[in-house]
Structure 1
Amino acid sequence: MVRPASDSTRELSPTGAHCELTDLLRLRFVARDLQLFARRPARSLLTGGMRTRQRGRGVDFEEVRLYQPGDDVRTIDWRVTARTQVPHTKIFREERERPVFVAVDQRASMFFGSRTCFKSVLATHISATIAWAALNQSDRIGGLVFGDNAQRDIRARRSKHAVLELLHQLHDYNHRLKSPIASRSPIALETILADARRVAKPGSAVFVVSDFHDFDRACEQQLFELARHTDVTLIHVYDPLEHHLGGNRLLTVTNGHERLPLPAQDAHFQQAYARDFEQRLETLTASCRRLALPLLSYATDDDIHTLLRERFGARRRIRN
């Protein structure tokens, strides 16, 4: 008996404090239903196997429409023109390649979670799913996995080996996380975005997966430069406890050396806590709005596979 999709993907949902390599490998079954670029035209001029909305003299016929001034006379459909006595031209859809580049945050701030899984684990599952979906579309896949004091570049290639290398690096960096407190000054997000500009080739689709806790105007400037030559999508991951403390229990925070009780039952503190999160998210949202960049936001207790399918699910083309 075939299980419903919701049942088959539930057991692949991210859980726990660290990811498992076997789970990242099995996400290829989830990615079969995804089309990353169904809505957006490619900017790359490299030929490839993924059809886009850029039109030209390719090998894939799309439609016939009325001839317009400036159209190439070599594309005139003489049969339709003779039948209708009105000039018509053929339109072809060119096949283009769009390399996919995933920048994944595995810094100490990501090592936190109160429900279902840690933010760092959610980020690895989202990134792995994107990588498998890109491979299914015959695109090249590369990445940049970064921790507090190190990073690893994965050169974009159109092969399963490139995806496997990315998954191994995700697993490795994820399992290095032991504390939500960085031992030294961590790499800033601004530096990572600058490195992404160096690694991601023009025409690439860049997905940045992070909690964006240190996002500022300098990061916005780096995004502006990155978005000039690539298609950037930001994926914000967070834990519900970061948004709202809730409950009437006494909470205690620690920096690894000292402990401090929180006035969680105080209404003013609750409001200030929630407002701080909302302001940081609004700063990120406003930057994306100014730069016209897509921003997706997912919590650690979300049904992530369902949400990704809603956002990137393959759409059947309606034929007249």
Structure 2
Amino acid sequence: MNYVVRGASVNRAALIAARLTARQLRLRQQRRHVARQTGNHPAPFKGRGLSFQQLRAYQGGDEIRHIDWRVTARTTKPHTRVFEEERERPIVICLDQRRPMAFGSRHCFKSVMACHAAALLAWNGLDSNDRVGGLIFSDDRHNEFRPKRSSRAVLHLLNSACEYSERLLQAPAEDKQQALSSALEELRRITRPGSSVFILSDFHDYDDEAHKQLLLLSRHNDIVALGINDPLELRLPLQGALPLSDGQQRSVINIDQRLQQHYRDHIAQAQQTLQQELRQLGVVLLPLSTDDDLLDILSREIRLT
């Protein structure tokens, strides 16, 4: 089944109907941990990722940091805490709905593609019995959603995504722009260690501060970055005069072969740099174009560790 997104605006009914499509989504997994969860995938823990199970008498080889000193002092015999791997993997979706996302040259706007990707990931997480939440941000505000295991929570998230997307088309261009680093800082604040984090953005302003926030976030979470782009952003059109407008002003740029090559080299270098920096953090970067089959790309490329 194909899932090709179209349009400059988001249809609420389509995001709700995406639940049926999400059931076909099989996110590929690397079995780094073998303990099972309540969901249908292995645990993606980084760090301890444990929950308290019981107290018992200390045994040789137990970690000193797990000794319960209060019980030890009360009973005069050393006791240690026994932990088990947590039985949940919260899904946290970070959705970029800033002004640069309101662009598309073929099938749909980047903002619309991001909303549909968020819907598929959210419904898939819920059907896997995971708690789903996230952060949606624009140039002047953001909404946060604590992970919950309920259809109502996902509907609330998707309804807000539609509102942000609609507002993106209606609001006039402003000089004020929220930096990606600021959104990532908020994301880090609401994300519990052991989560699977999906960041849907074009990463046009990824900088040192954003890198720092991702570094802190990646220490205890698995992160997949969906870098959303449009074909026109990767390659200039055929040679000739190209009219451009920001909705208020209009200009014309003359494209020749030299400019085309310079532009391709610049974009290729920028993408390579972003991929290298994210790889250093253990973050998977998945390029996603507005003319891609969304279901096919997510099924083939995303690996939950």
TM-score bin (small chain): 0.7 to 0.9
- Report whether the alignment pairs 1:268 with 2:258: yes
Q: Which amino acid in the other structure matches residue 8 of structure 2?
A: A
Contact persistence 2:94–2:197 (CA under 8 A):
yes
Structure 1-normalised TM-score?
0.77
Q: Which amino acid in the other structure matches residue 128 of structure 1?
A: A
Q: Which amino acid in the other structure matches residue 110 of structure 2?
A: K
**1:267-312 Cα shifts (integer Å, max 9, x gaps):** 1111122222222212210111211211100111111112122235
Aligned residues: 267
Contact persistence 1:20–1:171 (CA under 8 A):
yes
Query: Paired residue for 1:23, among 14, 28, 36?
Result: 14
Q: CA RMSD in A?
A: 2.7
* Structure 1 match to 2:236: 245
Question: Per the alignment, do residues 181 and 275 of structure 1 end up closer, same or farther by CA in structure 2, a change over 3 Å counting?
Answer: farther
Q: Determine the C-alpha separation between the residues in 1 that align with 2:283 and 2:211.
A: 11
Contact persistence 2:44–2:89 (CA under 8 A):
no
Deviation of 1:313 after TM superposition, in Å, equals 9.2
**1:152-190 Cα shifts (integer Å, max 9, x gaps):** 111110111111011101111001112798413111000
* Structure 1 match to 2:281: 291
Question: Per the alignment, do residues 169 and 54 of structure 1 end up closer, same or farther by CA in structure 2, a change over 3 Å counting?
Answer: closer
Report 1 or 2 for greater relative contact order, CA contacts < 8 Å, sequence distance ≥ 6: 2
Residues 1-320 of structure 1 aligned to structure 2 (within 5 Å): 5=1, 9-10=2-3, 13-36=4-27, 38-39=29-30, 41=32, 48-52=38-42, 96-178=87-169, 182-264=173-255, 266-312=256-302
Contact persistence 2:227–2:287 (CA under 8 A):
yes
Question: Per the alignment, do residues 122 and 26 of structure 1 end up closer, same or farther by CA in structure 2, a change over 3 Å counting?
Answer: same
Deviation of 1:38 after TM superposition, in Å, equals 2.5
Gaps of at least 5 residues in structure 1 are 56-69, 71-92, 315-320
Q: Which amino acid in the other structure matches residue 281 of structure 1?
A: Q
Contact persistence 2:105–2:230 (CA under 8 A):
yes
Q: Determine the C-alpha separation between the residues in 1 that align with 2:262 and 2:205.
A: 19
Deviation of 1:51 after TM superposition, in Å, equals 4.4
Q: Which amino acid in the other structure matches residue 26 of structure 1?
A: A
Q: Determine the C-alpha separation between the residues in 2 that align with 1:300 and 1:168.
A: 21
Between 178-187 and 46-55, report the one with greater CA deviation: 46-55
Q: Determine the C-alpha separation between the residues in 2 that align with 1:180 and 1:236.
A: 24
1:184 match: secondary structure:
coil
Q: Which amino acid in the other structure matches residue 128 of structure 2?
A: Q
Q: Which amino acid in the other structure matches residue 305 of structure 1?
A: L
Deviation of 1:52 after TM superposition, in Å, equals 1.5
Structure 2-normalised TM-score?
0.80
Q: Determine the C-alpha separation between the residues in 2 that align with 1:189 and 1:259.
A: 28
Deviation of 1:28 after TM superposition, in Å, equals 0.9
Deviation of 1:24 after TM superposition, in Å, equals 0.6
Q: Determine the C-alpha separation between the residues in 2 that align with 1:158 and 1:99.
A: 9
Contact persistence 1:111–1:180 (CA under 8 A):
no
1:263 match: secondary structure:
strand
Q: Determine the C-alpha separation between the residues in 2 that align with 1:15 and 1:109.
A: 18
Question: Per the alignment, do residues 313 and 219 of structure 1 end up closer, same or farther by CA in structure 2, a change over 3 Å counting?
Answer: closer
* Structure 2 match to 1:84: none
Q: Determine the C-alpha separation between the residues in 2 that align with 1:49 and 1:256.
A: 47
Q: Determine the C-alpha separation between the residues in 1 that align with 2:117 and 2:31.
A: 20
Contact persistence 1:15–1:116 (CA under 8 A):
yes
Contact persistence 1:52–1:95 (CA under 8 A):
no
Q: Determine the C-alpha separation between the residues in 2 that align with 1:42 and 1:128.
A: 27
* Structure 1 match to 2:80: none
Q: Determine the C-alpha separation between the residues in 2 that align with 1:253 and 1:54.
A: 45
Q: Which runs of 4+ in 1 moved over 6 A?
A: none
Q: Determine the C-alpha separation between the residues in 2 that align with 1:162 and 1:294.
A: 27
Question: Per the alignment, do residues 224 and 271 of structure 1 end up closer, same or farther by CA in structure 2, a change over 3 Å counting?
Answer: same
